A and B are shown apart, each in its own frame.
Chain A
Amino acid sequence: MTDRAETLARLLELIAPYNVRGVELSETTRFAEDLELDSLTVMDLVANIEDAWDINLPLNLLPELETVGQVADAVVRLAAR
């Protein structure tokens, strides 16, 4: 599951339950501005992403990951490691 398109598709599934505002989800969806996720929701989502790919997504990376696409890139990179 390291293929970029597959990763993105799975990622969108994981994010869907947190999309309480019902915005259209895509590569460019921003976690803070579009989804308005608070830090505690982010914590939950990150743990789910980590378990889906059996990776650790260090907290240090989170400030750089503003969009869904950026997270997909990070997951692909970390899963290949």
Chain B
Amino acid sequence: MTDLLAKFDRFAAEHQTLLDAGLLDPFGVVMEEVLSPTRAVIGGRETILVGTYNYMGMTFEPSVLAAAKAAIDRFGAGSTGSRVLNGTFAAHVGVEAALREFYAMDHAIVFSTGYQANLGMVSTLAGKGDVIVLDADSHASIYDGCKLGHAEVVRFRHNDAADLDRRLGRLPKEAGRLVVLEGVYSMLGDVAPLKELVAVAKAHGAMVLVDEAHAMGFFGPHGRGVYEAQGLEGEVDFVVGTFSKSVGTVGGFAVSNHPKFEILRLVTNPYRFTASLPPAVVAAAEASIRCLMRAADKRERLWAATRALHAGLREAGFRLATETAESAIIAVLMPDQEATVAMWDALLRHGIYVNMSRPPATPAGVFLLRCSLSSEHSREDVATIVDRFIEARASLAAAAAA
């Protein structure tokens, strides 16, 4: 009998090496208690969370928690069904109405996760004979959406409009085209030049889908995303987003003004062949989205915290992935896996949680300690985070010298 799990032995050995070195497991963090959008208890110690994508700090917002509790009482713990059968409650309709309002679009469809939103939209929009042209640094959910569908898939070099133009120019005239972009790329935290990319896509007669997962709430006058900040309303055909970042719960969605959009509910497998979100989750999401319509103060605090962390880490001599604080993700570049894991471990021991990222999640050969800010990180928090980065680095240098 061939052991089907043997193909993963190399990964298992690599992971074991890390654990044998006495380091904490970057993929096995347990939060014993979550105290606020910026604090949790990890390993018995109060830790500042600097890697949770909780951009707008909505996870403990009183109106959000109240809506979730009321929905449990009104609808029960779960829907036990698909959106197209028994799984659509008033709460699901309510969150879709809030999304239409937030984006000022005619249609909104809610999926059970952000991953499934991309899986469903990408695999269904582009069918046999169509071509998907996507940014090489696209999220795994977009790549998996490509694999699930039957379209041809072509990549262009990250954020490169001329490269997109060349690849679209090579396609047969008759092929339907879907260009897939992201507003903020989550590994390096860099923002896409959507204006240029969308213009190229439109010149080639392509429909455009933009994933704004890491931009909702704090890009553009209404917080709709990078496409809004760059003045592209009416140019983007489909916007995909998530409830698991700025909205503070879980779920995914797509919004559009396309007049035929609603048919997607009946033909998209990752929508119709899975259970709908629990009522408490969609009710929380609706309450949160309605708060985000009036969250100018949170937005300002988030940008202030982000700029302060970028400046503080740079001043302390850390190498950052972007010249300026382009988004609420500040990625610290590390030389290799060993240094990354060691620094990640030292940071956690100093009460700071960040994300450790490495290939293949990151672009070619890049190792990162990825920080994401929240509107609820205070000025003092940011100063503490920078101090602890410096202390953690010093502790490693001392250990190496000993």
Contact = CB atoms under 8 A, between A and B. Distances in A.
Contacts of A51: 166
Contacts of B170: 50, 54-56
Nearest to A43: B136
Interface stretch (A19-27, A34-42, A67-75): A34-42
Contact of A56 (B136, B146, B167, B359): B167
| Interface band, chain A | 10 to 19
B360 A60 contact: no
Nearest to A62: B153
A17 interface: no
B157 interface: yes
A59 B363 contact: no
B400 interface: no
Interface string A1-27: 000000000000000000000000000
B365 to A, nearest CB: 7
Contact of B364 (A40, A54, A58, A59): A40
Contacts of A40: 359-360, 363-365
A47 interface: yes
Interface in B348-383: 359-360, 363-365
B360 A38 contact: yes
B152 A60 contact: yes
B171 interface: yes
A40 B158 CA distance: 12
B154 interface: yes
B363 A58 contact: no
B155 A59 contact: yes
A44 interface: yes
Given A58-B152, A59-B155, 20 more contacts: A38-B359, A39-B360, A40-B359, A40-B360, A40-B365, A41-B364, A43-B364, A44-B364, A47-B163, A50-B167, A50-B170, A54-B166, A56-B152, A56-B167, A56-B171, A58-B131, A59-B153, A59-B154, A60-B152, A60-B153
26 contacts: A38-B359, A39-B360, A40-B359, A40-B360, A40-B364, A41-B364, A43-B155, A44-B364, A46-B155, A47-B136, A47-B157, A50-B167, A50-B170, A51-B166, A54-B166, A56-B131, A56-B152, A56-B154, A56-B167, A58-B131, A58-B152, A58-B153, A59-B146, A59-B153, A59-B154, A60-B152
